[in-house]
Structures are given as C-alpha cells and as structure tokens.
Amino acid sequence: MAEPDTNLPGDGGKKGARAWRPVVAVLAAVTIAFCAWSAWQYAQGNDPLTFLSGDALQTVAEPAAADGQAAATPQITITANTVTADDVAAACAGLSFDGSNVSVAADDVKAVLTSDGVWVEQATTDDAPAMVDATARRAAALAKWAAEQNVGLADVTWISEDANGAVRLVVRYGCDGAPTSGDTPALLSAAEGYAISGDAYAQLGDAPAFAQQGGEAPTLPDDSAITVVQKKTVDGEALTKTKTTYRVVDQNGKNVSSKSDSAGGSTSGASSQQGATVTVSITVDGSSAGAGSSSATLTLPAGATVYDALASCGVSFNAKATGYGMYVSSIAGLAEKEHGGMSGWMYSVNGSTADIACSSYVLSGGESIYWWYANVEY
C-alpha cells in the first residue's frame, strides 16, 4: 500500500488543504478589487494596463523622433552675455550720471576691452574744470553700466587727452561700487586711482579741492604705466580741435604711438608743441639682485619727466601715486623689499641722486638717467 503524498503524516492531507484556503481567499479578494478598479479607470477614460508599458516609469517624455531617425539626446546650452567695443562706444553715447546727461558721441571715443576691464580714450577741448568733472562722471557712469552687463568686467579706465594726444586726466573706477552721485572731489576720492596733468591742474585755481593724483596709478591693458606729465609745460595744452590722436591703447591693448585721424581745421597755436622734443638716455640696472641691466636712448615730448622716460623705455614696472608724486615699486618684476626691508628702486640724473619724485623731475634734454636696485641684503 502506497504512503500518503503529504509532508504531515497521519492526517490524510486534510490539514494541508485547510492551509491553502486563506491564500485562495486573499487572491480572490485582490482579483475582485482589481476588476473594480479597472472598471473605474475605464469609466474615467484611462487605460488600466498602462503600467505594463515602460512609459509609466518615465518622468519626462522623450521627444518624438522624425521618421527613420532615433530620438535626439537632450542638450544643455549655456548662453553667456558678451560685450564688444562697439557696445561700449554705444553706451558712451547714452551715459547719464545722477540724472544728468554726460553722454559723448560714439565716434568721439575709442574703446578697448580685455578680460580685466574697459579702457576709453577721448580727445576733449573742454577747459580743465569742465573736463575733470565730465571725465569723472562719465567714467563712473560707464562703470555702473559695465557692472549691469554681468560679464565680469572689473573696472573702467577713462583717458581724456588734448588734441595732440597728451593725457589730461586718467581715472579708474571699479565696476562694483562705482559712485552714482557726488561732486568732483567726492568722485575723485572714490576712484581706484587718477592722475591730472600739470597743465590741466594749473587751470583749476590756486587751491583745488583735490590733489593732482590719488590712489593707485591707472595702467594700460598690458599693465604698463600711462604717461601723465606732472609739470606745467611751456606751451600748455593743445585744445584746438585739429585732430584726434590715440596714443595710449589700441584694440589689442598695446601701446600705440601717434595713431591719428584727421579732423580738419587749423593747426596753429598750441599744436606746435607736437614738434618740441628732448632726447635722453636711460639705464635700468637690477644686477645687484641678479636681474641684469639694459639701456636705451629716448626721444620724448618737451616737458617729459624721469617717470615718463621710464614709461617709454619698454620695461614693465609698477608705480603708485603718493603725496610727493609717483613712486616706482617694481621694475621688470623685481619689487621693493624682495631682498631686505630697505631694498628697492632709486634713480639718479647725470650721476646725482635726485631728491624729488621721478614724476616731478622735468627733463631738459641730454640727461643720463640711471635706475638701480639698492640696499640689497645678502
């Protein structure tokens, strides 16, 4: 006789059958519930079997593909704001400061952009008080505009020149926090740096409410110095509107010499200053600190200073404005205090150590200028 086919001996399989009854009851209840839910879904116009397709697991539908083509992979595109030199010139034509129109025609300015900032050159025939005030307001207004473009421009440098291209005023404002109101003294005190020529400063009266220079000396896009003649010259400024001369920066941010656009008119009067020059020699010697030396012979405009000669000799340097004039802190990458607390740059003229700032020493022609790195500690 065969053994019962069961895992529980002695009950004839009756207990196993009873164990399945609850499971069957649950399945029956689930089936009835699903049928009821499906009927409700159909009544709502939905397909209750959608969950069986992959679409139910997608949170974003794929775009429909063209016939015979696979669906394209979605791409993320970042659009960056950009500003061009033409944009800057156009902005200059619409400048407003503290509710006043300070615009200047786009054709009357030259704009240069780098990743660091904006440089604007303008030849102006305004008298010195009007020129200083207008330049400070325009530069501050343009700095505010540059900040609003959200392209990471750090600062704005505005260079006002006379008809011969001699710098009358250069002023720089940071794009973040540039002033939006104030008189001329307040605007200049808020600048990162500025310098006024000796000729222009002399026209501001006996006791101007601001110094001739302040802050850190503004520089060109290549970090070289902007030449501003600190002393009053014999011939004065060339304010006859004869030409526009861009001598400071070009589209590549490099120094430009006498790049002029004729504007017609007379060339008489102060413009004769353009032909007056002085010739000097200059040596820069950093050999005491292992930096070597170099020499050059320069022809400079009449009224040029030792500072102007250094700025024209092709050697990079850093300088800052002080109460005594321009102070040169580094030449050719060799900075003060790198070789001892008293180490730094000094200069002499014709063998005699000068006791005035290099920007105050006016050259007459024939001088031998010597810059050397002094007080090196070994």
Please tell me the total count of domains within the chain. Answer: 2
108 and 178 within one domain: yes
Cα R_g (the chain), whole angstroms: 39
Mean pLDDT (the chain) is 76
Task: Collapse the DSSP code of 109 into the 3-class scheme (helix H, G, I; strand E, B; otherwise coil) and give the result.
Answer: strand
- Residue 371 CA to residue 163 CA, distance in Å, equals 32
String of b and e for 50-83 (b: at least 16 CB within 10 Å)? eeeeeeeeeeeeeeeeeeeeeeeeeeeeeeeeeb
245 and 128 within one domain: yes
206 and 149 within one domain: yes
pLDDT band at 15 (very low <50, low <70, confident <90, very high): low
The mean pLDDT of 196-214, rounded to a whole number, is: 92
In a domain, 161, yes or no: yes
262 and 281 within one domain: no
Task: Give yes or no for residue 257 having a pLDDT over 50.
Answer: no
* Residues 93/128, Cβ–Cβ less than 8 Å: no
Task: Give yes or no for residue 185 having a pLDDT over 90.
Answer: yes
For residue range 312-341, list pLDDT tens digits in order: 787 878 888 777 888 898 888 888 999 888
The mean pLDDT of 341-354, rounded to a whole number, is: 92
207 and 352 within one domain: no
pTM: 0.49
297 and 185 within one domain: no
Weakest mean pLDDT among 158-167, 274-283, 298-307 = 274-283
Task: Give yes or no for residue 261 having a pLDDT over 70.
Answer: no
293 and 183 within one domain: no
Give the relative orientation of helices 85-92 and 128-148 as an angle to the nearest 10 degrees. Answer: 130
Final residue of a structural domain among 272, 291, 317: 272
For residue range 240-251, list pLDDT tens digits in order: 654 444 444 443
Domain at 294, CATH number: 2.170.130.30
Sign for the CA dihedral angle at 2, 8, 10, 11 comes to negative
Residue span of the structural domain in which 241 resides: 82-272
Task: Collapse the DSSP code of 371 into the 3-class scheme (helix H, G, I; strand E, B; otherwise coil) and give the result.
Answer: strand
Q: In the prediction, which pLDDT does 12 show? A: 47
In the chain, the percentage of residues whose pLDDT exceeds 70 is 71
pLDDT band at 39 (very low <50, low <70, confident <90, very high): low
The mean pLDDT of 178-188, rounded to a whole number, is: 95
Q: Which residue from 124, 153, 159, 154 is spatially nearest to 139, judged by alpha carbons? A: 159
158 and 108 within one domain: yes
280 and 267 within one domain: no
Q: In the prediction, which pLDDT does 313 show? A: 80
Q: In the prediction, which pLDDT does 204 show? A: 94
Final residue of a structural domain among 219, 251, 272: 272
Final residue of a structural domain among 248, 272, 296: 272
208 and 165 within one domain: yes
Most confident of the following: 20-29, 264-273, 317-326, 344-353: 344-353
- Residue 60 CA to residue 198 CA, distance in Å, equals 70
170 and 149 within one domain: yes
For residue range 46-101, list pLDDT tens digits in order: 555 554 444 433 333 334 444 544 444 333 232 344 677 888 889 999 999 999 99
Q: In the prediction, which pLDDT does 240 show? A: 64
